Structure 1
Amino acid sequence: MMLSFYILFLVFGIPWTSPTTIKSQNGFTPCEFYPDCQCNKDNESSLYIADCSGLNMTQIRKFPNIIVKLTLRMNSLNEVKNGTFFENRLLRTLDLSFNSINTLWPSSFIGLEQLTELDLQQNSLSRKSLTYSVFASFQSLVYLNLKGNFYQEFQPNISSLVRLKTLKMDFAYKETTILGKQLSNLKRLMRLDLSGFTGNCSIIHLTPQTFQYLPQIHHLNLSMCKIKSVQKGTFDKMKNIISLDLSGNTCLKFQVLENVTIDLQFSAIKILKLNKIHKVFDMNTYLQTSHIRHLNNTAIEEFHLDSNRLQQIESGALKYFPKTLKYVSTRDNMFSIGPYLYDLMSMSIELFDISDMFKAHKEDRHPETCNMNFVCTWHREAQYNENQNIQMKELLFESGQHYHDDNAVTIIPIPYRLKTLRFRSSDSKYKIAAVTLSNNKLERIDVSNNILSQLIGPLKNTKNLKYLNLSSNVCSNISTFFFSPDFNKLEELLLGNNLLGLVLPSDTFGQIFQNLLNLKKLDLSENRISILPNQIFKSQRKLEILDLSSNFLEKIDFKLSHLSHLSYLNLRNNLLTFIDSHTILGINHIVNMSKNLSINLLENRLVCTCSSESFIKWIGSTSVQLVNKYHTFCQLSTGKRILMINIPEIYKRLEKDCTSYEVLISVLVVTILLFFIVLILGFSYRFRWKLRYFYYMVKIRSRSKIPQIDEDENEYMYDAFVSYADEDRLFIHTQLLQTLEKENGIRLCLHKRNFLPGNDIATNITSAIHNSRKTIVIMTYHYLKSYWCMFEFNMARMESIYERNNENVLFLVVFEQISARDFPLHILEVVQSQSYIEFPNDEQGDVVFWLQLVTALK
């Protein structure tokens, strides 16, 4: 039985699932008459469809006459007793496949005169069971499957099935390869399946006599029948044949094609399958004109040549295909550049599948033993000269062979009527530079799962292209001009599973996709994208589906609001914690216009904290369809992950937790900050001169450019520093300097004379005051208006307080009459608390003034 499951897996390409699961998924419920079986009503007849498969039944029970279709496959049945179905005269379909039935009695199927389909495949039926009388009961049978029952030469007598249209059976022989004369009664038989893929087939040689009694066949499947030769005339009488499958007969080789195609000329052939008629490790093959030229006289529509190690085609051979040919499949071959590429443009095909080139292979598990292992030799016309080879290299690009010229334009020959081109999984390592397609009607191109690492372009002459698949190409670079203006009809672009996260973040102005004005679907999944620029999708106003799943997006920076047709945004499996308010506004704008938007946020790092409060509220109120919203998790501030099942409750909880202290904390923080700011500002203003004094004193001492006083000996560089306004310099440089310094030997420091060049003014002033015993202030209105005079005055005050132990170093000389209200408060305080001297400006008073001044300074 497990072998049967394995065969099902091979044939249908799907994993085996239990019958009960399959039935429950298709709306079946337990039958009233037999609960172990599953039933469903047939819409046309109102009778029951009963499925009793996989129940390990050992015998067939009696079923009521209310069933139109009965399935008993995959049980343990070993016989069908006489009269088993006598009462089931309404039964139309009976499936007894995949059992162990070895015995059929003459009356096993009596009562099934109206049966139209019978499946007995994969049992153990013998010659004794498959007798004429067994099939005599069937008067309406149109479908019969006997595959997987006999392994030796045997042809059951089914001549009574005159209405039969489809026959599937084994065909193994020892001596003869002729299908029996008894089949000549089956005038309505149209479909004959002898394939060894689903049964047992061994027809070493096909001769004109093999199918002589079945000239009416429309569909003939001879795949994997171990055929080694086909004689001319084998299919000559089959003028009505529509499809012929000779695939999987690895001993045939291309040399047999001429015998096949010459028989098929003038027939009704539409589909010809010649897949894998060479062994896996045969020499590379060469398709010649003689192999296919007779097809020119047919109306063939499909031609399959997969897995034949095909490398070259004779020049001109492709021109023999008729104009009716629409679909060509040459998957899993090994094509190389050749002159035949020019012939492609003359073909009328609409779909061309050339995928899986250079695919890795393993030897067949049970390879055929051929009479002789044919070694393919090149046809003499295949030896094209070197000039032709160079021309072909100029025509097409091949990895590492295009003269290393990035500015060269590559021209690709395309059949004019071709609409679909598939070039998937071919391990093609190309850097696509400037490429132009020949005149074409291409609508769909699939070049996925290759290694197109750089898309430089431009790619031109794609004016009809609607679908382009460039996914899984390890692509890390797309130029801003790869998608030329010729892509104006492109609707679907697949770029998933690449490395575009390296280039898209730098496309600040949205130039990469700027010409894709009609794009409806864009897939950028699995590209390691961490950020997308704001204008990346600026031109995609018709975009309906945007897939950004499985990237590294932490936030949505790109503009969304203009995508008015967007219906599905896939953000699954990123690093999003929440959607910010700006993006929410853009999404709401889309919803207001289209009202049909779905967003997938599964497998992100969504959080339900105060920072995402507005996002949680939006999820609970928005009309956007969130995919599997009730299977989406978010993380609380405690670290616990919860399902976002009850959004209003989560928001209510957040609102309580986040708003109860938020205002108080905000006010408190602002108040404390304001207090400290005011305190610092007040402190700075109150002690501004002290701070400035200390700053300049530290600066002076750190530079050590000004000689410092010796405090122990109390010596100063100057007896007095004279602080005066520049407008009063005449008095200073004539009378003051003459009287005090020249006549009385008092050393004065004047800024015009004694300040060191290179030091800033404030440093010179502070240094001069610090290195002078006294500071003489010549107080005038000009002095009160001068910034630097005020600076000198305050530095002298700081010096007396912090360096001279409150010794009064200021000596005020009021040079002109100044009203008390004109004095600043800090100067008025000094004037009122300390003695000062007024300049008399008369001859007698001058003598006293200078005497007092000299006495005070000495």
Structure 2
Amino acid sequence: MLSSLRTMYALLYICLRLQIGQTDPCKFDERCQCSKTSKGYVTVDCSWKNITKIQNLPKSTVCLNVSHNLIEYTSKRFFESAKYLSTLDLSFNKLSSITVATFNGLWKLRYLSLDNNELVYNNHTFQKETFRDLKSLSHLSLKNNNIRSYDCKRLPDDTIMQLSALEKLELDACVCGDDIFGKGFHYLKKLKSLVIRNNYICSMSKYTFRNTRNLQNVLIHGIGEISFRKGTFRHLRYLKHLEMSFDSKKGGIVSPVEKIAKNFIYTSIETLKLGQLKIPLHTFPLYILNKELYKNNITEICLTDNAGKGGHFPIPMGAPPQTLQILDLSNNSLTRFILDIKNFTRLILKQNLLGDFLSTESYFEKKTDEYFSMIETIDISQNDIKELAPFTFYSQPLLHHIDLSNNKIQDITFDLSCLLALEFLNLSNNRIKFFNESVMRTINTLVMNKQLTIDLSQNLLQCTCKTIPFLRWMIESNVLFVDLQKYSCTLEDGSIIILNPFEYKVLQLEKTCKSYLGLIIGVSLALLVVIMTVITTLVYRYRWKIRYMYYMTKGKYSYQKISPDNDDEYTYDAFISYSEDDRSFVFNDCIEKLEKEKNFRLCIHQRDFMPGQDITVNITNCIHTSRKTVCLITKKFLESYYCMFAFNMARMESIYSRHGRNILFLVFYEQILPKELPLVMLELVQKESYMEYPNDEQGNVVFWEKIQETLRTNVRAWVFVINRNREVHVSFCFQ
């Protein structure tokens, strides 16, 4: 009993579903894809399925796409069941005609596309009652149909006038004169937008738009040539947006642009877009338009896609209209550009050749230092930019979007600190390897109170121990990097890796660098020690040479350098170096025996040093200007810094100024053990042979005679030994 009730309820449920049409909507054609909306309606996609016709379309269908198929004709019952249909796409089929009853019952249809079929504009294809039931249709597209007919006709007036709700129309215009839109368009009171596909040669005049006076948007896209006569836009007083572009080398505007500009006085033009004009930009500067556009509320001008025609932007060219906010000069081969952009909010200069110009100049023509721009967005991508002048973005405090993508930038050379409103910086597809510390500090300041997004994708970053601070900064900073996990970088060995996951890869690099850090530090310290040791050794070995050269330079002699072999030009015959304890011997014996009796010129420091000079400079000067240097050796002499300084300076003088001829004269005034002598002095003494003289009056006479003879003779080395008891030992060797 229970099973019978269940069976009965199941059959009843199936009948109810069949009755209200709730069967699976996707079963009418297995090739199509169907989906339900939240309100129970159905959208059907049958595109690219080689379909020739559609049958059993679900009644609840609101959107049907049968584009890119093989449909050649439509029957009167083709869409009969789809009473709720609002969107119908029949583009890219093989339709050559439409029956009168094709669109019967489609009262709610709002969008209809018949693009790219074979529908010639004539009464046979579009009969009078074709659009009779399309009372809600607001958008009709008929582009790329009329191109196969050279005997071009316009849309029949009786057919088009039935579309009273139409707001946007897309259609073809070929060789059909200037009266493209007939009287039937006069009934389309709601028609605001018109897209004209210009296929061949078309001419426009004051008669073209006389039946479409309510148009606000006119877009002309074509592959042919188009000409404009005077008064073309005279009737379009509500026109706000005008766009003309051409996608073929044969297409373009053949009329002087002045004819177009003079029509704008009758319109409410706000946006003007002109592309592929076939007119060099330097012959079409903005001032041609300025005369008329100053009288309108123009806000946007786009002059694009004249690559190979531009060359440069006229400088100066006069101020643009004050209402102008957006200027697009993309793909014009511009090599120079500078303009007063005070009132601009957006400037687009992509796909030009401004790299060299912007490396030293700015695009902003400033009148005073306080002059600033309202610009918010600047696009100078694809301009072969290697670097930007530091002042490029000065006086633009509201700039928040900068696009520098697809250039050759390696370093951030422009000043970022002035961009306090910056929100997005696009540096993708450049040659940036890392940011230096200065740039990172500046960016950290910018992101303190504002979110900043930077796009560094398609830059081959550098992953080395040197760039770890930059990579770590990318992770820890408040900057949002676009597609960070897709960034790639090059390692020390030249290999390239993908930084995914970014933080893990950076952590691996840090560990690798730390493992080498100790070795690098150890090797560096060892190398530093070796270098310092070598330097110290060399300095110690040549210390007296260095000091000699230093004091010789410091002396700044007032005399000319004398020849070492010209003895007559020395100021003194001998310089006497002695300790203060031995001054009595110098003043009582040396001066008496040598100066007074034999007329030798002696240099005594207490008498002949130059007042006001350093004692070291005086010693060096006196040695250099004396034929010989006599050192009175005692223990006090060895303990005296200046006495030993004189001894070593005399040695240096012998080696470097007298060509190896020894000028030293050592007199040992008291008994000194060999171990008490400095090594260099001991070597000098040990190299000589000694001859001993008796300690008597005659010996003293011989001693002074030998000294006198030595002062007049070139002797290789001297060593005299005299004790305080007047015992004299002399060793000499004549050269």
Partner Cα distance (1:34, 1:513) in 2 = 60
For 1:447, the equivalent position in structure 2 comes to 329
Partner of 1:644: 499
- Structure 2 vs 1, CA of residues 792 and 536 (structure 1 numbering), >3 Å: closer, same or farther? same
Q: Which amino acid aligns with 1:662?
A: L
Asked if 2 retains the 8 angstrom alpha-carbon contact of 1:706 and 1:767, the reply is no
Q: CA contact under 8 A between 2:271 and 2:301: conserved in structure 1?
A: yes
1:397-442 per-residue CA deviation (whole Å, 9 max, x = no partner) reads: 99xxxxxxxxxxx999634511112122333333543454266212
1:812 aligns with 2:667: yes
CA gap of 1:763–1:648, structure 2 versus 1, over 3 A, is same
**Contact kept? 1:210, 1:234, Cα under 8 Å:** no
Distance 1:794 1:431, change over 3 A: same
The answer on 1:494 being equivalent to 2:468 is no
Match of 2:10 in 1: none
**Is 2:648 the counterpart of 1:794?**
yes
Using a 3 Å threshold, how does the CA distance of structure 1 residues 115 and 76 change in structure 2: closer, same or farther? Answer: same
What residue in structure 2 maps to residue 188 of structure 1? Answer: 135
Relative to structure 1, is the Cα distance of residues 777 and 357 closer, same or farther in structure 2, using a 3 angstrom cutoff? same
Q: Does 1:515 align with 2:398?
A: no
Q: Please give the alpha-carbon distance, in whole angstroms, between the structure 2 residues aligned to 1:349 and 1:201.
A: 34
Superposed displacement of residue 685, structure 1: 3.9
> Which amino acid in the other structure matches residue 542 of structure 1?
A
Query: 8 Å contact 1:599–1:626 — kept in the other structure?
Result: yes
Residues 631 and 667 in structure 2, CA contact (< 8 A), matched pair in contact too = yes
Describe the superposition over 1:100-142 as per-residue Cα deviations: whole angstroms up to 9, x where unpaired.
3457777666654555555555555688x9475x776x46563
| Structure 1 residues 471 and 798: CA distance shift in structure 2, 3 A | closer
**Could you say if the C-alpha distance between residues 200 and 474 of structure 1 is closer, same or farther in structure 2, counting changes exceeding 3 Å?**
closer
- Contact kept in structure 1, 2:224 and 2:252, CA below 8 Å: no
Q: Spell out the pairing of 1:545-694 with structure 2 (5 A cutoff).
A: 545-550=424-429, 573-576=430-433, 578-579=434-435, 583-594=439-450, 596-618=451-473, 624-646=479-501, 650=505, 653-660=508-515, 662-663=517-518, 666-667=521-522, 669-670=524-525, 673-674=528-529, 677=532, 680-681=535-536, 684-685=539-540, 688-689=543-544
Structure 1 position 631, deviation (Å): 2.5
**Does the CA-based 8 Å contact 1:177-1:206 persist in structure 2?**
no
Aligned-residue offset at 1:825: 7.1
The structure 1 residue matched to 2:302, chosen from 422, 425, 430, is 422
Name the aligned partner's letter for residue 135 of structure 2: R
1:516, distance to aligned residue in structure 2 (A) = 1.0
Taking structure 1 as reference, are residues 218 and 32 closer, same or farther at Cα in structure 2, changes over 3 Å only?
A: closer
State the partner residue of 1:197: 144
Contact 1:195 1:201 in 2 (8 A): no
Evaluate the alpha carbon distance shift between residue 633 and residue 503 of structure 1 in structure 2; reply closer, same or farther with a 3 A threshold.
closer
Report the AA paired with residue 421 of structure 2. K
For residues 638 and 187 of structure 1, the distance between their equivalents in structure 2, rounded to whole angstroms, comes to 70
How far the C-alpha of 1:812 sits from its partner, in A, is 2.2
Aligned to 2:592: 735
Q: Deviations over 1:73-125 (max 9, x none)?
A: 32233455xxx418x33334444444334577776666545555555555556
Residue of structure 1 in register with 2:51 after alignment: 77
The equivalent residue for 1:755 is: none
Taking only the aligned residue pairs, the percentage that are identical comes to 21
Structure 2 counterparts to residues 57-68 of structure 1, below 5 A = 68=42
SS at match of 2:43: strand
Cα deviation, residue 493, structure 1? 1.7
Deviation readout 1:303-354 (Å, 9 max, x if unpaired) = 5666799xxxxxxxxxxxxxxxxxxxxx943565869968867864221223
Q: In the alignment, which residue of structure 2 is the partner of 1:707?
A: 565
Change beyond 3 A, Cα 1:491–1:763: same
Q: Is the 8 A contact 2:76 2:99 kept in 1?
A: no
Give 1:515 deviation, angstroms: 1.1
What are the ranges of 5 or more consecutive residues in structure 1 without an aligned counterpart?
Answer: 1-29, 48-67, 152-169, 310-330, 361-391, 399-409, 551-572, 697-702, 710-715, 753-759, 837-844
Q: How many residues align?
A: 633
1:445: how far off? 1.4
Contact 1:796 1:810 in 2 (8 A): no
Distance 2:660 2:79 in 1: 131
Separation in 2, partners of 1:208, 1:103: 20
Structure 1 position 470 matched with structure 2 position 417: no
Whether the aligned pair in 1 keeps the contact of 2:164 and 2:187 (CA below 8 Å) is yes
Q: State how far apart, in whole Å, the 2-side matches of 1:217 and 1:583 are.
A: 58
SS at structure 2 position matched to 1:735: helix
CA pair 707-536 structure 1, distance change in 2 beyond 3 A: same
User: Residues 673 and 740 of structure 1: is their aligned pair in 2 closer, same or farther, counting only changes over 3 Å?
Assistant: farther
Compared CA separation, residues 599 and 209, structure 1 to 2 (3 A):
closer
Counterpart secondary structure, 2:378: strand
Secondary structure at 2:521 match in 1? helix
Contact conserved, 1:455 with 1:482, CA < 8 A, in 2? no
Output the amino acid matched with 2:365: F
- d(CA) in 1 for partners of 2:505 and 2:131? 77
User: Which whole-Å CA distance do the structure 2 matches of 1:177 and 1:279 have between them?
Assistant: 27
1:358 to 267, 275, 278: 278
Pick aligned residue for 1:723 from 564, 575, 600: 575
Rounded to whole Å, the distance in 1 between the matches of 2:465 and 2:336 is: 44
1:853 to 689, 701, 704: 704
Preserved CA contact (<8 Å) 2:243 2:273: no
Aligned partners of 2:660 and 2:88: how far apart in 1? Answer: 123
Residue 425 of structure 2 aligns to a residue whose secondary structure is strand
Give TM-score scaled by structure 1 length: 0.57
Q: Deviations over 1:221-266 (max 9, x none)?
A: 5523653474997348536362556652756533xx34444545xx
Check whether the contact 2:353–2:384 (CA below 8 A) recurs between aligned residues: yes
| 1: CA distance, partners of 2:449 / 2:241 | 46
User: Residue 466 of structure 1: CA displacement?
Assistant: 1.0
Q: Deviation of residue 521 (structure 1)? A: 1.6
1:223 counterpart SS class: strand
The one-letter code sitting in structure 1 at the alignment partner of 2:648 is N
Which residue is 2:723 aligned to? none
- 2:333 and 2:131 map into 1 onto residues whose CA distance is 55
TM-score (norm 2): 0.65
State whether residues 605 and 634 of structure 1, in contact with CA within 8 Å, keep that contact through their aligned partners in structure 2: yes
Distance change (3 Å), C-alpha of 1:582 and 1:447: closer
Contact 1:521 1:545 in 2 (8 A): yes
Q: CA deviation at 1:549?
A: 3.5
Q: CA deviation at 1:39?
A: 4.7
Amino acid at match of 2:703: Q
Partner SS, residue 312 of structure 2 = strand
- 1:42 paired residue among 37, 40, 56: 37
CA contact (8 A) 1:396 1:412 kept: no
1:142 partner amino acid = L
CA contact (8 A) 1:271 1:301 kept: yes
Gaps of 5+ in 2: 1-24, 552-560, 606-617, 691-695, 710-735
Distance 1:661 1:786, change over 3 A: same
- In 1: Cα distance, 2:198 partner to 2:655 partner: 110
CA-based RMSD: 6.0
1:271/1:810 CA distance change after superposition, 3 Å: closer
Map Cα deviations across residues 656-714 of structure 1 (whole Å, 9 max, x no partner).
54445534653564356346635653664466448889999xxxxxx9943399xxxxx
The separation in 1 between residues aligned to 2:461 and 2:172, in whole angstroms, is: 55
